[in-house]
Amino acid sequence: MILGVLGKGGSGKSTVATALVNYLRAQNKSLLAIDADHNMDLSHNLTTGIDTSPQTYLGSGLTDLYDYLGIAPGVKYDMAFLSGISKAFSLTPLDSFSEKYSLPLDTTTHLMTAGPQTDAVLHGKTCSHILTTPLKLFLPLLTLQPDEYVVVDEKAGADGVTTGIVTGIDVGIIVVEPALHSIKTAKQIAELMDFYQTPYVFVGNKILSSEDQEYLAQELNQAPIVYLGQNRDIQKGHSDFAITWQTELSMIIKTATTINMNNRTERTKIKFARNLSFSSAH
Ligand SMILES: Nc1ncnc2c1ncn2[C@@H]1O[C@H](COP(=O)(O)OP(=O)(O)OP(=O)(O)O)[C@@H](O)[C@H]1O
Ligand SMILES: [Mg+2]
Protein backbone atom coordinates (compact mmCIF):
# COMPACT_ATOMS: atom_id res chain seq x y z
CA MET A 1 0.00 0.00 0.00
CA ILE A 2 1.24 3.46 -0.91
CA LEU A 3 0.58 6.13 1.74
CA GLY A 4 1.01 9.78 0.76
CA VAL A 5 1.45 12.19 3.68
CA LEU A 6 -0.11 15.55 2.86
CA GLY A 7 -0.95 18.83 4.58
CA LYS A 8 -0.13 22.48 5.01
CA GLY A 9 3.50 23.56 5.38
CA GLY A 10 4.73 22.87 8.89
CA SER A 11 1.69 20.76 9.87
CA GLY A 12 3.93 17.77 10.61
CA LYS A 13 4.02 15.78 7.34
CA SER A 14 7.70 14.83 7.61
CA THR A 15 7.34 14.03 11.31
CA VAL A 16 4.36 11.73 10.66
CA ALA A 17 6.02 10.19 7.57
CA THR A 18 9.17 9.46 9.61
CA ALA A 19 7.09 7.94 12.41
CA LEU A 20 5.17 5.73 9.93
CA VAL A 21 8.42 4.55 8.30
CA ASN A 22 10.04 3.73 11.64
CA TYR A 23 6.87 2.03 12.90
CA LEU A 24 6.73 -0.20 9.79
CA ARG A 25 10.48 -0.82 9.94
CA ALA A 26 10.13 -2.08 13.47
CA GLN A 27 7.69 -4.68 12.12
CA ASN A 28 10.21 -5.77 9.44
CA LYS A 29 7.87 -4.80 6.62
CA SER A 30 9.30 -4.51 3.14
CA LEU A 31 9.28 -0.77 2.76
CA LEU A 32 10.15 2.14 0.49
CA ALA A 33 10.29 5.66 1.95
CA ILE A 34 9.98 8.38 -0.69
CA ASP A 35 10.97 11.95 0.03
CA ALA A 36 9.09 14.00 -2.57
CA ASP A 37 9.91 17.36 -1.00
CA HIS A 38 13.03 19.26 -2.00
CA ASN A 39 13.58 20.35 1.61
CA MET A 40 14.49 16.67 2.18
CA ASP A 41 13.38 16.54 5.82
CA LEU A 42 12.30 12.89 5.61
CA SER A 43 15.67 11.91 4.12
CA HIS A 44 17.44 13.85 6.84
CA ASN A 45 15.35 12.25 9.59
CA LEU A 46 16.01 8.74 8.26
CA THR A 47 19.70 9.05 7.45
CA THR A 48 21.21 10.92 10.37
CA GLY A 49 24.61 9.32 10.85
CA ILE A 50 24.46 7.32 7.58
CA ASP A 51 26.76 7.89 4.61
CA THR A 52 24.39 9.00 1.86
CA SER A 53 27.03 9.83 -0.74
CA PRO A 54 26.18 6.92 -3.10
CA GLN A 55 22.57 8.07 -3.36
CA THR A 56 21.29 9.09 -6.79
CA TYR A 57 18.38 11.51 -6.68
CA LEU A 58 15.15 10.57 -8.39
CA GLY A 59 14.74 14.09 -9.81
CA SER A 60 17.55 13.32 -12.26
CA GLY A 61 16.14 9.92 -13.20
CA LEU A 62 13.57 10.60 -15.92
CA THR A 63 15.79 9.40 -18.80
CA ASP A 64 16.63 6.18 -16.94
CA LEU A 65 12.96 5.70 -16.11
CA TYR A 66 12.02 6.04 -19.78
CA ASP A 67 14.79 3.57 -20.71
CA TYR A 68 13.62 1.05 -18.11
CA LEU A 69 10.00 1.30 -19.30
CA GLY A 70 10.94 1.27 -23.00
CA ILE A 71 9.45 4.71 -23.72
CA ALA A 72 11.03 6.65 -26.57
CA PRO A 73 12.66 9.96 -25.60
CA GLY A 74 10.40 12.95 -26.21
CA VAL A 75 7.14 11.01 -25.73
CA LYS A 76 4.98 12.62 -23.02
CA TYR A 77 4.68 10.45 -19.89
CA ASP A 78 0.88 10.65 -19.85
CA MET A 79 0.63 9.63 -23.53
CA ALA A 80 3.03 6.74 -22.90
CA PHE A 81 1.01 5.57 -19.90
CA LEU A 82 -2.27 5.68 -21.81
CA SER A 83 -0.84 3.72 -24.75
CA GLY A 84 0.09 0.93 -22.32
CA ILE A 85 3.34 0.06 -20.61
CA SER A 86 4.09 -3.60 -20.05
CA LYS A 87 6.93 -3.21 -17.52
CA ALA A 88 6.46 -2.66 -13.80
CA PHE A 89 8.50 -1.80 -10.73
CA SER A 90 8.74 -4.01 -7.65
CA LEU A 91 10.14 -3.98 -4.12
CA THR A 92 10.79 -7.72 -3.80
CA PRO A 93 12.97 -8.22 -5.71
CA LEU A 94 13.96 -4.59 -6.12
CA ASP A 95 13.89 -3.70 -9.83
CA SER A 96 17.03 -2.24 -11.41
CA PHE A 97 15.64 1.31 -11.62
CA SER A 98 14.67 1.40 -7.92
CA GLU A 99 18.00 -0.17 -7.02
CA LYS A 100 19.85 2.68 -8.70
CA TYR A 101 17.64 5.45 -7.33
CA SER A 102 17.31 4.37 -3.73
CA LEU A 103 19.50 4.05 -0.69
CA PRO A 104 19.24 0.89 1.43
CA LEU A 105 18.61 1.74 5.09
CA ASP A 106 18.46 -1.90 6.18
CA THR A 107 17.72 -5.24 4.52
CA THR A 108 14.03 -4.45 3.95
CA THR A 109 13.91 -0.63 3.85
CA HIS A 110 14.95 1.70 1.03
CA LEU A 111 14.87 5.47 0.73
CA MET A 112 14.20 7.30 -2.55
CA THR A 113 14.76 11.05 -2.58
CA ALA A 114 13.44 13.44 -5.23
CA GLY A 115 16.43 15.63 -4.49
CA PRO A 116 17.41 19.20 -3.70
CA GLN A 117 16.67 22.23 -5.84
CA THR A 118 18.59 22.04 -9.11
CA ASP A 119 20.21 25.05 -10.80
CA ALA A 120 17.31 25.13 -13.28
CA VAL A 121 14.86 25.42 -10.38
CA LEU A 122 17.00 27.96 -8.53
CA HIS A 123 17.24 30.18 -11.60
CA GLY A 124 13.53 30.08 -12.30
CA LYS A 125 13.77 28.02 -15.52
CA THR A 126 11.50 25.32 -14.14
CA CYS A 127 9.36 24.63 -11.09
CA SER A 128 10.56 22.31 -8.30
CA HIS A 129 7.64 19.95 -9.04
CA ILE A 130 9.75 18.63 -11.92
CA LEU A 131 11.83 16.73 -9.35
CA THR A 132 8.88 14.43 -8.73
CA THR A 133 7.94 13.85 -12.39
CA PRO A 134 9.45 10.31 -12.36
CA LEU A 135 7.01 9.44 -9.54
CA LYS A 136 4.06 10.10 -11.85
CA LEU A 137 4.92 6.88 -13.70
CA PHE A 138 6.80 5.07 -10.96
CA LEU A 139 3.99 4.95 -8.37
CA PRO A 140 1.12 3.73 -10.56
CA LEU A 141 3.43 1.11 -12.09
CA LEU A 142 4.77 -0.16 -8.76
CA THR A 143 3.48 -3.66 -8.01
CA LEU A 144 3.21 -4.33 -4.29
CA GLN A 145 2.52 -7.44 -2.22
CA PRO A 146 -0.13 -7.02 0.53
CA ASP A 147 2.47 -6.56 3.28
CA GLU A 148 4.70 -4.17 1.34
CA TYR A 149 4.49 -0.44 2.07
CA VAL A 150 5.52 2.86 0.54
CA VAL A 151 5.41 6.09 2.54
CA VAL A 152 5.64 9.30 0.51
CA ASP A 153 6.43 12.58 2.25
CA GLU A 154 4.69 15.03 -0.07
CA LYS A 155 5.20 18.70 -0.77
CA ALA A 156 3.29 21.21 1.32
CA GLY A 157 -0.15 22.48 0.42
CA ALA A 158 -2.96 21.72 -2.00
CA ASP A 159 -1.01 22.73 -5.09
CA GLY A 160 1.03 19.53 -5.01
CA VAL A 161 -2.14 17.46 -5.27
CA THR A 162 -3.16 18.75 -8.69
CA THR A 163 0.33 18.99 -10.20
CA GLY A 164 1.60 15.97 -8.31
CA ILE A 165 1.28 12.29 -7.79
CA VAL A 166 -2.15 12.04 -6.16
CA THR A 167 -3.47 9.12 -8.21
CA GLY A 168 -0.22 7.20 -7.65
CA ILE A 169 -0.93 6.88 -3.95
CA ASP A 170 -3.44 4.45 -2.44
CA VAL A 171 -4.41 6.48 0.62
CA GLY A 172 -3.74 10.09 1.62
CA ILE A 173 -2.79 10.85 5.22
CA ILE A 174 -3.78 14.52 5.66
CA VAL A 175 -1.95 15.97 8.66
CA VAL A 176 -3.75 18.91 10.20
CA GLU A 177 -3.06 21.21 13.17
CA PRO A 178 -5.81 22.84 15.23
CA ALA A 179 -5.20 26.13 13.44
CA LEU A 180 -7.41 28.02 11.01
CA HIS A 181 -5.11 27.95 7.99
CA SER A 182 -3.97 24.40 8.52
CA ILE A 183 -7.62 23.32 8.50
CA LYS A 184 -8.38 25.40 5.40
CA THR A 185 -5.56 23.71 3.49
CA ALA A 186 -6.52 20.26 4.78
CA LYS A 187 -10.06 20.77 3.49
CA GLN A 188 -8.80 21.98 0.10
CA ILE A 189 -6.61 18.88 -0.15
CA ALA A 190 -9.54 16.65 0.82
CA GLU A 191 -11.72 18.24 -1.86
CA LEU A 192 -9.06 17.56 -4.50
CA MET A 193 -8.60 14.00 -3.25
CA ASP A 194 -12.35 13.49 -3.70
CA PHE A 195 -12.09 14.82 -7.24
CA TYR A 196 -9.32 12.28 -7.97
CA GLN A 197 -11.24 9.54 -6.11
CA THR A 198 -8.24 8.92 -3.89
CA PRO A 199 -9.21 7.88 -0.34
CA TYR A 200 -7.79 9.79 2.63
CA VAL A 201 -7.91 10.19 6.39
CA PHE A 202 -7.28 13.21 8.60
CA VAL A 203 -4.62 12.98 11.31
CA GLY A 204 -4.77 15.71 13.97
CA ASN A 205 -1.31 16.87 15.05
CA LYS A 206 0.18 19.14 17.74
CA ILE A 207 -2.85 18.58 19.94
CA LEU A 208 -2.72 20.14 23.41
CA SER A 209 -6.21 19.57 24.78
CA SER A 210 -9.64 18.06 24.24
CA GLU A 211 -10.74 21.50 23.06
CA ASP A 212 -8.19 21.19 20.24
CA GLN A 213 -9.71 17.83 19.31
CA GLU A 214 -13.26 19.17 19.33
CA TYR A 215 -12.26 22.24 17.32
CA LEU A 216 -10.63 20.09 14.64
CA ALA A 217 -13.55 17.66 14.42
CA GLN A 218 -16.03 20.51 14.14
CA GLU A 219 -14.12 22.56 11.57
CA LEU A 220 -13.28 19.54 9.40
CA ASN A 221 -16.88 18.27 9.61
CA GLN A 222 -15.45 14.91 10.61
CA ALA A 223 -13.19 13.70 13.41
CA PRO A 224 -9.57 12.90 12.57
CA ILE A 225 -8.91 9.17 12.96
CA VAL A 226 -6.19 9.88 15.55
CA TYR A 227 -4.83 12.85 17.50
CA LEU A 228 -1.07 13.24 17.97
CA GLY A 229 -0.02 15.32 20.96
CA GLN A 230 2.18 18.39 20.88
CA ASN A 231 5.47 17.02 22.15
CA ARG A 232 8.57 19.08 22.94
CA ASP A 233 10.91 16.08 22.63
CA ILE A 234 9.66 15.41 19.11
CA GLN A 235 10.24 19.03 18.21
CA LYS A 236 13.85 18.79 19.38
CA GLY A 237 14.33 15.49 17.55
CA HIS A 238 15.02 13.72 20.87
CA SER A 239 12.21 11.23 20.90
CA ASP A 240 11.51 8.06 18.92
CA PHE A 241 8.03 9.09 17.87
CA ALA A 242 7.35 5.68 16.27
CA ILE A 243 7.25 4.37 19.84
CA THR A 244 5.53 7.41 21.40
CA TRP A 245 2.71 7.17 18.86
CA GLN A 246 2.59 3.39 18.42
CA THR A 247 -1.16 3.07 19.06
CA GLU A 248 -2.03 5.97 16.76
CA LEU A 249 0.29 4.73 13.97
CA SER A 250 -1.22 1.27 14.18
CA MET A 251 -4.69 2.86 13.82
CA ILE A 252 -3.55 4.86 10.76
CA ILE A 253 -2.27 1.71 9.02
CA LYS A 254 -5.38 -0.26 9.98
CA THR A 255 -7.79 2.39 8.67
CA ALA A 256 -5.76 2.98 5.51
CA THR A 257 -5.81 -0.76 4.79
CA THR A 258 -9.61 -0.76 5.11
CA ILE A 259 -10.22 2.17 2.75
CA ASN A 260 -7.54 1.30 0.17
CA MET A 261 -9.29 0.62 -3.14
CA ASN A 262 -6.21 -0.87 -4.85
CA ASN A 263 -6.92 0.99 -8.08
CA ARG A 264 -3.93 3.32 -8.55
CA THR A 265 -3.47 2.36 -12.20
CA GLU A 266 -7.12 2.96 -13.14
CA ARG A 267 -7.27 6.32 -11.32
CA THR A 268 -4.04 7.41 -12.99
CA LYS A 269 -5.42 6.51 -16.44
CA ILE A 270 -8.51 8.63 -15.76
CA LYS A 271 -6.38 11.54 -14.56
CA PHE A 272 -3.99 11.45 -17.53
CA ALA A 273 -6.86 11.11 -20.04
CA ARG A 274 -8.69 14.06 -18.44
CA ASN A 275 -5.52 16.19 -18.40
CA LEU A 276 -4.85 15.45 -22.07
CA SER A 277 -8.40 16.24 -23.17
CA PHE A 278 -8.29 19.46 -21.14
CA SER A 279 -4.98 20.46 -22.79
CA SER A 280 -6.32 19.80 -26.29
CA ALA A 281 -9.52 21.78 -25.59
CA HIS A 282 -7.65 24.84 -24.21
N1 LIG B 1 3.39 16.57 17.50
C2 LIG B 1 4.37 17.45 17.47
N3 LIG B 1 4.82 18.04 18.61
C4 LIG B 1 5.77 18.96 18.60
N5 LIG B 1 6.38 19.38 17.50
C6 LIG B 1 5.99 18.86 16.33
C7 LIG B 1 4.98 17.87 16.24
N8 LIG B 1 4.82 17.54 14.93
C9 LIG B 1 5.70 18.29 14.25
N10 LIG B 1 6.40 19.08 15.08
C11 LIG B 1 7.42 20.09 14.73
O12 LIG B 1 6.84 21.03 13.84
C13 LIG B 1 7.78 21.41 12.84
C14 LIG B 1 7.21 21.09 11.46
O15 LIG B 1 7.08 19.68 11.37
P16 LIG B 1 7.40 18.92 10.00
O17 LIG B 1 8.71 19.35 9.46
O18 LIG B 1 7.16 17.49 10.24
O19 LIG B 1 6.23 19.54 9.12
P20 LIG B 1 6.03 19.48 7.55
O21 LIG B 1 4.57 19.54 7.33
O22 LIG B 1 6.77 18.34 6.98
O23 LIG B 1 6.74 20.84 7.11
P24 LIG B 1 7.17 21.27 5.61
O25 LIG B 1 5.91 21.74 4.96
O26 LIG B 1 8.16 22.36 5.85
O27 LIG B 1 7.76 20.09 4.92
C28 LIG B 1 9.08 20.66 13.15
O29 LIG B 1 9.89 21.49 13.93
C30 LIG B 1 8.60 19.46 13.98
O31 LIG B 1 9.58 19.00 14.89
MG1 LIG C 1 8.19 18.27 5.47
Closest ligand 1 atom to Cα of 42: 22
Give the closest residue to 61 by CA, choosing from 136, 169, 9: 136
140: containing domain: 2-281
- Confidence check: pLDDT of 200 > 80: yes
Cβ pair 151, 91 in contact under 8 A: no
Cβ pair 250, 153 in contact under 8 A: no
> Average pLDDT in the 236-264 region?
92
143 beta partners: 90
Taking CA atoms only, the protein residue closest to ligand 1 atom 9 is 12
Give the closest residue to 97 by CA, choosing from 84, 108, 88, 106: 88
Taking CA atoms only, the protein residue closest to ligand 1 atom 25 is 9
Which of 280 and 156 is assigned the larger pLDDT? Answer: 156
**In a mutational test of the pocket of ligand 1, which residue from 155, 175, 235 has the highest number of ligand atoms less than 8 Å from its CB?**
235
Comparing 71-75, 80-84, 113-117, the range with the smallest average pLDDT is 113-117
> Average pLDDT in the 261-281 region?
91
Looking at residue 7, its pLDDT comes to 97
Cβ pair 154, 128 in contact under 8 A: no
Task: Give the closest ligand to the alpha carbon of residue 173.
Answer: 1
Looking at residue 57, its pLDDT comes to 95
| Average model confidence (pLDDT) across the chain | 93
Residue range 207-242, pLDDT digits in tens = 999 999 999 999 999 999 999 999 988 888 777 888
Whether omega for the bond prior to residue 93 falls within 30 degrees of 0, making it cis, is yes
The CA–CA distances, whole Å, from 218 to 38, 125, 215, 223 equal 33, 43, 5, 7
Cβ pair 42, 14 in contact under 8 A: yes
Give the total number of structural domains in the chain.
1
What CATH number is attached to the domain comprising 103? 3.40.50.300
User: Could you tell me what percent of the chain has a pLDDT over 70?
Assistant: 100
Q: How far apart are CA 15 and CA 10, in angstroms?
A: 10
Residue range 97-149, pLDDT digits in tens = 999 999 999 999 999 999 987 787 788 877 777 889 999 999 999 999 999 99
pTM (predicted TM-score): 0.96
Q: Which residues line ligand 1 (CB under 6 A)?
A: 7, 9-15, 37, 39, 41, 156, 205-206, 228, 230-231, 234-235
Comparing 79-88, 160-169, 188-197, the range with the smallest average pLDDT is 160-169
Backbone torsions φ then ψ of 199, nearest 5 degrees = -65, 155
Looking at residue 282, its pLDDT comes to 75
Give the closest residue to 185 by CA, choosing from 165, 204, 211, 158: 158
Q: How far apart are CA 44 and CA 48, in angstroms?
A: 6
Ligand 1 centroid from CA 73, angstroms: 39
Residue range 13-56, pLDDT digits in tens = 999 999 999 999 999 999 999 999 999 999 999 998 888 887 89
Listing DSSP states for 228-239 in one string gives EEP-HHHHTT-S
The DSSP H or E segment spanning 134 is: helix 133-138
Taking CA atoms only, the protein residue closest to ligand 1 atom 15 is 12
User: Could you tell me what percent of the chain has a pLDDT over 90?
Assistant: 80
